[in-house]
Structure 1
Amino acid sequence: MISHFSTIDEVQKAMKENYAGCHEGVADFAEELTTDTIEIPESLAFYIDYEKMGRDMELGGV
């Protein structure tokens, strides 16, 4: 929220440093973050619930 910043420079800096891309929803974000940071064996990929991961990210903050 812009009201958390004192100047437009702070807003621009935060946007540059914290932008995580455009996603359809939190599940898509969770999947991209996970697959970009770790290698998931094919035998386990089916068991990963990105919807639940995304929900947990929203509730707990990432």
Structure 2
Amino acid sequence: MIDVNNDFDVAVLNFIRTVYIQSKFDKEKVRTVLHPDVVEAVMQTIDLTERGIDYVKRKRN
């Protein structure tokens, strides 16, 4: 559930708004780039590059 009083939720909504505007209101492009598989791949990449392989191994076990 989205909480409009939660700073994180509001930041994510603002991010989506910005992406949508930057795409020139191309809904399909935004849906593609924010697809759950894309989001998961980006998070895994960040975990590997910024948190390190040990963090990833601990999370998988």
Asked if these proteins are the same fold (TM beyond 0.5), I'd say no
Q: Which has the higher helix share?
A: 2
Determine which structure has greater relative contact order: mean sequence separation of CA pairs < 8 Å that are 6+ residues apart, divided by chain length: 1
Q: Give TM-score scaled by structure 2 length.
A: 0.30
